[in-house]
Amino acid sequence: MRVFLSALSFLFILGVIAAAGVSYYGWHLYTKAGAPHEDTLFLVEKGQGVSQIADKLAQEGMIEQPLIFRIAARLGGHDQSIHAGEYQIPSGASVKDIIEKMANGEVFNRSITIPEGLTSWQIVQLLRDQMGVDESTVIDIPPEGSLLPDTYHYVRGDDAQMVIERMSAAMTAAIEDTWPQRDENSPILSKAEAVILASIVEKETGVASEREQVAGVFINRLKLGMALQTDPTVIYAITKGKIEDKGNGPLGRRLLTKDLQFESPYNTYKNPSLPPGPIANPGREAIKATLNPAHHDFLYFVADGTGGHVFSKTLDEHNANVAKWRKIRKAQK
């Protein structure tokens, strides 16, 4: 009996040692660093189970033994808590690291930056390109001036309409935030008018420091009942906002003198008031500049050849500046 008990004890101890060894080896495989590779985006699709995820991770070289992933996920109670989505798997990530990232839903955030001054049509095309939206998918073009240019984050699987709705909400918030700080003596009488003029300011200058000065010129003209006479409104009238600028300007050519006679309520050479709607989507700073323009006596401005503009108070001064600009442009050809 003693021999039997001794043998049984020996076998028990041996089993404990073996179990400990297996457990240690399993923990080692669970926590050890994975193979070095570039940080890689990995997609967990809706409905995928732990086994499918483990096999795909192994196929893509991110883990060595899918069995360890399956066992660890199930023992940890994560087999039902892994979130669908896109994950960035860093080089050397262990099975433990990957499971925890997926169980915590640490999905990879993508971003898209919308430059100031794009039309709504252009923004939709940008979303299509960067979010990989199929051309067969219909996306309604939002009203012009309703989207706030900014950087927006999204995750794979979000649709473009969700991003558009956030841009729209951001524009509404921007107008609500800036409107109370407006110049009370301004001829801009509504938030809608503010966005219209801001869109013109946005298109007229790419120099941030000029926005308030340019806005001041247009405000002065509105107060005097003068036509704004701004080329971007004519371009919008012709293109209806569907602008494909491939290096030759939004029209694919220079704006011609005859274009200034184009019949449209958006043509501010023929209509001495604000156009009926925005011609682009202005940024927050252009809106601020429109609501708080610089106070000066300038009524005219023209390009100065450096990306900015030269301002003048009289038509004679302006004509002289235009002549200088034409010489500069001729020399640049």
22 pLDDT tier (thresholds 50, 70, 90): very low
CB 98 within 8 A of CB 29: no
The maximal CA–CA distance of the chain, rounded, in angstroms, is 122
Q: How confident is the model at residue 85, as a pLDDT? A: 87
Q: How confident is the model at residue 20, as a pLDDT? A: 46
- Using the predicted structure, report yes or no on whether residue 2 has a pLDDT greater than 70: no
What are the pLDDT digits (tens) for 148-196? 999 999 888 788 999 999 999 999 999 999 999 999 899 999 999 999 9
What are the pLDDT digits (tens) for 261-306? 999 999 999 999 999 999 999 999 999 999 999 999 999 999 888 8
Which residue shows structure tokens 């293109």? 239
Q: Which residues of 119-130 are buried (b: 16+ CB within 10 A; e: fewer)?
A: bbbbbbbbbeeb
Residue 234 DSSP label? H
- Using the predicted structure, report yes or no on whether residue 92 has a pLDDT greater than 80: yes
What are the pLDDT digits (tens) for 38-75? 788 889 988 889 999 999 999 988 888 889 889 988 98
Which residue shows structure tokens 């099975």? 95
Percent of the chain, pLDDT > 70?
90
- Using the predicted structure, report yes or no on whether residue 124 has a pLDDT greater than 90: yes
Which residue shows structure tokens 């483990």? 54
The C-alpha atoms of residue 265 and residue 240 are separated, in whole angstroms, by 12
More confident call, 22 vs 243? 243
What mean pLDDT value characterizes the chain? 87
β-strand pairing of 309-312 with 300-303: antiparallel
Q: Taking the complete model, does pTM exceed 0.85, yes or no?
A: no
Contacts of 269 (CB under 8 A, 6+ apart): 227, 229, 234, 260, 261
Residue 86 DSSP label? E
- Using the predicted structure, report yes or no on whether residue 257 has a pLDDT greater than 70: yes
Q: How confident is the model at residue 305, as a pLDDT? A: 80
Q: Which residues of 216-238 are buried (b: 16+ CB within 10 A; e: fewer)?
A: bbbbbbbeeeeebbbebbbbbbb
Average pLDDT for 219-244: 95
Q: How far is CA 74 from each of CA 49, 50, 69, 80, 324, rounded to the nearest angstrom?
A: 11, 8, 9, 8, 76
What are the pLDDT digits (tens) for 96-114? 889 888 899 889 888 999 9
Query: Encoding tokens for residue 76?
Result: 């940890």
In three-state secondary structure terms, 312 is strand
Q: How confident is the model at residue 19, as a pLDDT? A: 44
CB 121 within 8 A of CB 241: yes
What are the pLDDT digits (tens) for 233-253? 999 999 999 988 777 788 888
Beta bridge partners of 111: 153
18 pLDDT tier (thresholds 50, 70, 90): very low
